[in-house]
A and B are shown apart, each in its own frame.
Chain A
Amino acid sequence: EPEVTQTPSHQVTQMGQEVILRCVPISNHLYFYWYRQILGQKVEFLVSFYNNEISEKSEIFDDQFSVERPDGSNFTLKIRSTKLEDSAMYFCASSPQTGIGGELFFGEGSRLTVL
């Protein structure tokens, strides 16, 4: 069964360093997302991406964050200068849906630890 894959599963970085989290969405999906979950808290929306551009982003997704789909298969989240509070599990998701909100398919997540 097709699945969303994410790498790395766990990354430890120093504060101020750049981090790139990678995702391979399901191949025929059209919408791509990043969510994050700080330990013990709820899952928070970061950004949605459709037709090679950001369709929606949250207040969390500030200038330190960027997304890219460089080659038609990978979907990346870059954090330019990490802060301690960026420590969280980052989930990539994709959806085949056009129109308003269908089921999302999530990856297993990338755990980011900022020291």
Chain B
Amino acid sequence: SQQGEEDPQALSIQEGENATMNCSYKTSINNLQWYRQNSGRGLVHLILIRSNEREKHSGRLRVTLDTSKKSSSLLITASRAADTASYFCATVLIQGAQKLVFGQGTRLTINP
């Protein structure tokens, strides 16, 4: 099994609705980060949550972290067509120095 697995793999909602994506991981982490990737483009950092934090907000984004369940969720409120992209969680392991370990990603489609 892999460190960092998102669900659902794909999500399609109407513009204006909220989108929730989940991420589970296996080993203890220093922090967890969410990235966005538009099709064929690079990854853009959205938000970082440390292992001693439970919730963080940034604009329309809300991230939660439950270290006892080894899971995180990313909520995008009031979605827009421009939010259509793939969203990846990535963990930094306590023992893992600097590298990020990415999950498979959730492909989010916002229908106008």
Interface residues of A (CB under 8 A from B): 4, 31, 33, 35, 41-45, 48, 50, 55-56, 89, 91, 93, 95, 97, 100-109
Contact = CB atoms under 8 A, between A and B. Distances in A.
B97 A101 contact: yes
Given A42-B102, A101-B30, A101-B92, A106 B97 contact: no
- Chain B contact patch, size range: 20 to 34
A104 B45 contact: yes
Nearest to A50: B98
A111 to B, nearest CB: 8
- Max chain A Cβ within 10 angstroms of own Cβ: one of B30, B31, B48, B102: B102
A56 B33 CA distance: 20
A43 B97 contact: no
A42 B103 contact: yes
Contacts of A101: 30-31, 92, 96-100
A31 B102 contact: no
Contacts of A35: 100, 102
A45 B99 contact: yes
B102 A43 contact: yes
